């Protein structure tokens, strides 16, 4: 696992966007796994700026969802399908056909989970999966004590996650669904490159537990320690609880340029 400490969220967004751009230059039809929420917005904004400046061609790029609310209409403004279309697909000028995600409105939710889990490897696998992290250490919607071998499935959200997400529903927790479809931890670990972005002091404890603590189902993001190519990008506030922060700064400062992110 590589830990990169950046000055702020904007710097983190630029760094990850350049990694995505470099990937697309090598592999124009790369499958990018995207996350939702406020944290990854600087990444999408920076990547969009690169596209508009002609620095990278994304015409053949593909995008896939990490998770989706169950029962929320696909056209609901806070469904993750709508969010990804609004924040990623449309700004990048990608066609709707470039996008894939689970069906949160399916009559048979379990079948929809299994279908999406099969669809990802059938599409060639995820080349780079962008992740956020919850205050309790969850990735995707794999809440604490999720199996580290879990596959795409339905999950019940913790009350804390619903409280955290209520800000997207006018602060009304009653509007936040109780269930979601999420890629499992085992599914996430199959991506070729995992990039986790965390910003703000509120994520500091979760980052420290994930990076420096033991691999444990209680902290789902700690599973990134098992991945051969995992990168954790954190701003100074999110890095504030890391015991090895100085070492991480030193290793990144002396990293060979040819290694990339």
Q: Which of 103, 143, 164, 235 is catalytic?
A: 143
145 domain residue, yes or no: yes
Q: Is the pLDDT of residue 178 over 90?
A: yes
Q: Name the catalytic one among 14, 136, 164, 235.
A: 136
The yes-or-no answer on residue 75 being catalytic is no
Q: Decide if pLDDT at 258 tops 90.
A: no
Using CA atoms of 149, 226, 238, 245 in order, give the dihedral in degrees to the nearest 10: 160
Q: Which of 14, 18, 67, 68 is catalytic?
A: 67
* Listed residue (226, 78, 214, 206) closest to 143, CA to CA: 206
Does a structural domain hold residue 167? no
Residue 8 known to be catalytic: no
pLDDT in tens, 6-40: 999 999 999 999 999 999 999 999 999 999 989 99
Q: What is the CATH number of the domain that holds 138?
A: 3.40.50.1360
Domain count, the chain: 1
Residue 136 bears catalytic tag: yes
- Give CA–CA dist 185/199, Å, rounded: 22
Domain of residue 43, residue span: 2-66+110-152+185-255
Q: If you average pLDDT over residues 141-168, what whole number do you get? A: 93
Inter-residue contact 182 to 144 (CB < 8 Å): no
Q: Which of 195, 257, 202, 200 is nearest to 229 (CA)?
A: 195
Q: At a CB cut-off of 8 Å and minimum separation 6, what does 159 contact?
A: none
- 103, 127, 138, 193: which one is catalytic? 138
Condensed to tens digits (0 to 9), the pLDDT of residues 45-88 reads 999 999 999 999 999 999 999 999 999 998 999 999 999 999 99
End-to-end CA distance of the chain: give it in Å, rounded: 11
164 belongs to the catalytic site? no
Q: Which two tokens stand for residue 21?
A: 């751009």
């Amino acid at each position: 696992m590589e830990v990169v400490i950046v000055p702020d969220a904007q710097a983190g967004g630029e760094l990850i966007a350049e990694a995505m751009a470099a990937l697309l230059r090598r592999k124009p039809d790369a499958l990018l796994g995207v996350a939702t929420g406020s944290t990854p917005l600087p990444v999408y904004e920076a990547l969009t700026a690169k596209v508009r400046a002609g620095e990278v061609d994304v015409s053949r790029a593909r995008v896939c969802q990490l998770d989706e609310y169950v029962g929320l209409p696909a056209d609901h403004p806070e469904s993750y399908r709508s969010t990804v279309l609004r924040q990623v697909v449309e700004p990048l000028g990608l066609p709707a056909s470039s996008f894939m995600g689970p069906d949160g409105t399916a009559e048979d939710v379990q079948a929809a989970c299994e279908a999406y889990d099969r669809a990802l490897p059938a599409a060639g696998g995820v080349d780079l999966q962008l992740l956020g992290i919850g205050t309790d250490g969850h990735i995707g919607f794999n809440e604490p004590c999720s199996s580290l071998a879990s596959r795409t499935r339905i999950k019940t959200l913790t009350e804390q996650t619903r409280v955290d997400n209520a800000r997207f529903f006018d602060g009304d927790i009653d509007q936040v669904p109780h269930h979601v479809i999420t890629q499992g931890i085992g599914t996430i670990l199959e991506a070729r490159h995992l990039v986790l972005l965390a910003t703000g002091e509120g994520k500091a404890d979760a980052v420290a537990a994930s990076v420096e603590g033991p691999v444990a189902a209680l902290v789902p993001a700690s599973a990134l320690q098992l991945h051969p190519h995992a990168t954790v990008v954190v701003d100074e506030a999110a890095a504030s609880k890391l015991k090895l922060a100085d070492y991480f700064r030193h290793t990144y400062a002396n990293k060979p340029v040819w290694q990339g992110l």
